[in-house]
Amino acid sequence: MARWEPDARGRLQQAAMELFRDRGYADVTVAEIAERAGLTKRTFFNHFADKREVFFANAQMFEEDVLAELAGADPALRPIDAAVRAVTRAGLKLAPYYEYAKARNAVLAVTPELRERDLVKSDRLARAMAGELVRRGASERTAGFAAEAALAVFALAAADWIATPAADLAGFMERALTDLRDAVG
């Protein structure tokens, strides 16, 4: 998989996530993030409004990619297949950010404020995905379940991938979807 070669924005993200992981999200300042990235506070604020935005930068990109993939998906795909394919393709774009993703999960696990925000964002993404599936012709009920299922499958597959990064995210997605089907079937 391609390594991530960060530009200024990426260096700020990486520096922030390492500081959050090592010192705790609450105690890290924007000045410290900029200093660790070898940049100025002014450059930080050219890219991000605050440290919460830097934490969620990739999550934001993921959300936008999922919705774009879903909007462009083959109309013949069933809702669950379109939803799983969209999160898989958006997730694959995050593959170069492995160290960042690993640090992010460690920070989330110990920071209730960020975990709550993450839940809210995930809920909003599920609703937006369901809306897109309804536009494709799915019923509200099918669309809602397919969107929630695809994100639940992604959460598990992403955790598997963080534990074993050399493996393929798409394979983990397939395995997690099979596990979901077995669990509810």
What's the CA gap between 63 and 125, in Å, rounded? 6
Q: Using CA atoms, how far apart are residues 173 and 152, in angstroms rounded to an integer?
A: 10
Regarding 180 and contact with a copy of itself (CB under 8 A), the answer is yes
User: In the set 57, 79, 91, 107, which binds a copy of itself (CB under 8 A)?
Assistant: 79
Instruction: Compare residues 64 and 116 and give the one whose CB is closer to a copy of itself.
Output: 116
Question: Shortest gap between Cβ of 160 and a copy of itself (angstroms)?
Answer: 10
Q: Is 148 in the site for a copy of itself (CB under 8 A)?
A: yes
> Contact between 113 and a copy of itself (CB under 8 A)?
no
Contact between 179 and a copy of itself by CB under 8 A: the answer reads: yes
Cα 105 to Cα 19, 98, 110, 144, 160, distances in angstroms = 13, 11, 9, 26, 12
With contact defined as beta carbons under 8 Å apart, do 114 and 25 qualify? yes
* Cβ-based burial of 168 (10 A; exposed 0-12, middle 13-18, buried ≥19): middle
Residue 152 in the binding site for a copy of itself (CB under 8 A): yes
**Which spans of this chain sit near a copy of itself (rule: CB under 8 A)?**
79-80, 115-116, 119-120, 123, 141-142, 144-146, 148-149, 152, 156, 176-177, 179-185
